[in-house]
Amino acid sequence: MFKKILIANRGEIACRVAATARRLGIQTVAVYSEADATALHVEMCDEAIAIGPAAAQESYLKIDRIIAAALATGAEAVHPGYGFLSENEAFAAACEQAGLVFIGPPAAAIRAMGSKSAAKTLMEKADVPLVPGYHGENQEADFLQQQADKIGYPVLLKASAGGGGKGMRIVEASADFKAALASCKREAINSFGDDKVLVEKYLVRPRHIEIQVFADTKGECVYLFERDCSVQRRHQKVLEEAPAPGMTAARRAAMGEAAVAAAKAVGYVGAGTVEFIANQDGSFYFMEMNTRLQVEHPVTEMITDTDLVEWQLKVAYGLPLPKKQHELVIHGHAIEARIYAENPDKGFLPSTGRLHYLHTPAAVNFETVGAKSNRIDSGVRAGDAISPFYDPMIAKLIVWGEDREQALLRMGQALAEYQIAGLATNVAFLARLIKSAPFASADLDTGLIERNHDVLFPAPQAVPLAVLALATAVLLDAEKGEVAGDPWTINSGWRMNGLCKRVMEFSDDAGSTALNLTYQPQQWLLQHGDEHRTLTDLRLVKEMLPNPSQKNFDAAKVALRLDGKVVLGTVVRTQAMFHVFHAGHHWQLLWRDPIAHAGEAEEEGGRLTAPMPGKIIALLVVQGAVVEKGAPLLIMEAMKMEHTIHAPHAGIVEELLYAVGDQVIEGVQLLAFGGAEDSK
């Protein structure tokens, strides 16, 4: 077996590979950019080599620097992880030329499957069923539109060299085709350096089912069953599970055999995933093959009791597959939830910032592969930052159950215990998604989220009294005995005549709310609307926090009684912001300090700002342009995705403050925009 390998990746991916290597006694070398100098994957490996600036194009995508690092450290092989250079034919070839083993498929197999168009031609010859579409070389806009018209709308535009949901557009009508094509090609060239696209029939209510295949150098190839990855947003996976609900033995065998045929058609070696799009009636069509390990591979490991990274290392070393097809069986059900730094209520806009507070449910990590308990794969810790340079994934939460029902219950429980403060996350959204009737009943398709928008994106709810009480408890504790010997500052609310009364004003997305607080001996009377409760037995246990970046930042486990009923929660305070975690929910409350509050500046009219750090990639208007409400003004690229800034109302573009190619920080004004009266 290899004695030392280099891991050409970062974050959770590199940590995952390093964990298996450590278990097998293999030394590991990490590579890192300037932004990742203190990252977890650097600590987990035996050695670490700096390879360049924060931008991936200047570090993790620099083939020559990675090869040089491997040679300098005496690594025998390179594991590419998933993402970055994992499906790069030139990288695989460069490793081979340098005398390094590429822990992945041969360069020829990557080349064959790297182009979606060429791959479909190969699959057609191998009798693998294909979706109707055009996969040829002619990329003229008029010609592609003619092909789309012939196929029939809706159609799906896909970057030929793409993956991960990048460079994909659904086109509903011929009139929308060219605008969608331009956007698709722009994203494709930025993400993959290749703007070639293919056009396919877009299936209504399809399921996304993929087959894990594995081949060795001896000519053997097996499939490790399927994963259902239908639940997606923006063509990117949100939840994955194995096995696929409703899968029959006959259909599983048919899809597995088709996947093996696809792998053998290109002389495949190592771990690969053949992705199919399936109709509700059970028919299925080849979509693409990912020539690498998948992000969602843990659910396969859970149900097959395997370590797929260990398989990769053994196969790359020239050993035979650890198991034959008849030895592979399914045990139970596994579900994976991708926990992202993003705001689902704002179109899943990626979020950047520091993980001020991070509490996870009890779980094993990726070193205990196959364990029948919760598993968390992550490359970050409390105190780490999510930067705009890389994918905003915080962690993957994987649960296992004897059956799907038990796995759902465990996932719901684990998400309720996941607590993150410091940036926006999708944890609450995932909890709603898991409990939603369509997902719970396995009524799955790639449009599930859009079809159930109102259920999954409910209007903000009024803050419960218990949550207000928990936030208030932290304020009361902070005020306790502020000045020794001064009776006016102790939180008993002592007054010479009468009772001390206060109004605690908080606000959140639902608006402002007031809690009337009356101090009484050994207790407090709370009034919120028509509710009256007595607060007693207040107890706080402060938590130690890693490298808090702001003053007045703390966290505490809080216990109290409201009319004798115990209320438990965690409260994380960042100055006037209170993050209250209670009963599986996360509430963000802004406290209006009556003393420190000096008024809030009103939002300036016509000021359009960057929703997050990114780059200006297109200006859609010129200075002096008169536009209607909702008109697109410019396009930003951030976190490898495009974000269009629209006019908030009818008016005139007074000034463009940035040019195409400029980098901007979050919150900066992008252009000056006048009101409708200015355009007259």
Q: Report CA torsion sign: 664, 667, 672, 675.
A: positive
pLDDT one-digit tens code per residue, 451-494: 999 999 998 889 999 999 999 999 988 877 555 556 655 556 66
CATH of the domain spanning 4-103:
3.40.50.20
| 27-33 and 47-52 strand pairing | parallel
Average pLDDT, the chain: 89
pLDDT confidence bin for 329, thresholds 50/70/90: very high
Prior bond to 154 cis, omega within 30?
A: yes
- What's the pLDDT score for residue 410? 95
pLDDT confidence bin for 394, thresholds 50/70/90: very high
Segment 189-209 shows an average pLDDT of: 89
Bridge partners (DSSP) of residue 33 are: 52
- What's the pLDDT score for residue 478? 83
> What residue spans define the domains of the chain?
4-103, 132-201, 207-454, 465-591, 607-679
Three-class secondary structure of residue 551 per DSSP: coil
Burial class (CB in 10 A: 0-12, 13-18, 19+), 497: exposed
Segment 569-582 shows an average pLDDT of: 90
pLDDT confidence bin for 641, thresholds 50/70/90: low
Tell me the whole-structure pTM to 2 decimals: 0.81
Architecture of domain 132-201: 2-Layer Sandwich (3.30)
Q: Which residues are catalytic?
A: 292
Query: Domain 607-679 belongs to what topology?
Result: OB fold (Dihydrolipoamide Acetyltransferase, E2P) (2.40.50)
CATH class of 465-591: alpha beta
Helices of type H across 237-325: 249-265, 297-304, 308-316
- What's the pLDDT score for residue 600? 35
- What's the pLDDT score for residue 132? 83
pLDDT confidence bin for 528, thresholds 50/70/90: very high
Segment 577-595 shows an average pLDDT of: 88
- What's the pLDDT score for residue 490? 58
CA distance 661 to 643: 14
CB 554 within 8 A of CB 544: no
- What's the pLDDT score for residue 640? 59
Positions of E strands within 372-445: 375-378, 385-386, 393-401, 419-421
- What's the pLDDT score for residue 349? 85
pLDDT confidence bin for 605, thresholds 50/70/90: very low
| 155-159 and 207-215 strand pairing | unpaired
- What's the pLDDT score for residue 500? 85
Tell whether the model's pLDDT for residue 534 goes beyond 80: yes
Three-class secondary structure of residue 252 per DSSP: helix
**Cα→Cα distances 274→124, 315, 606, Å:** 14, 19, 49
pLDDT confidence bin for 665, thresholds 50/70/90: low
Architecture of domain 207-454: 2-Layer Sandwich (3.30)
Percentage of residues in the chain with pLDDT exceeding 70?
91
AA identity, residue 572: V
Tell whether the model's pLDDT for residue 200 goes beyond 60: yes
- What's the pLDDT score for residue 599? 36
CB 653 within 8 A of CB 627: yes
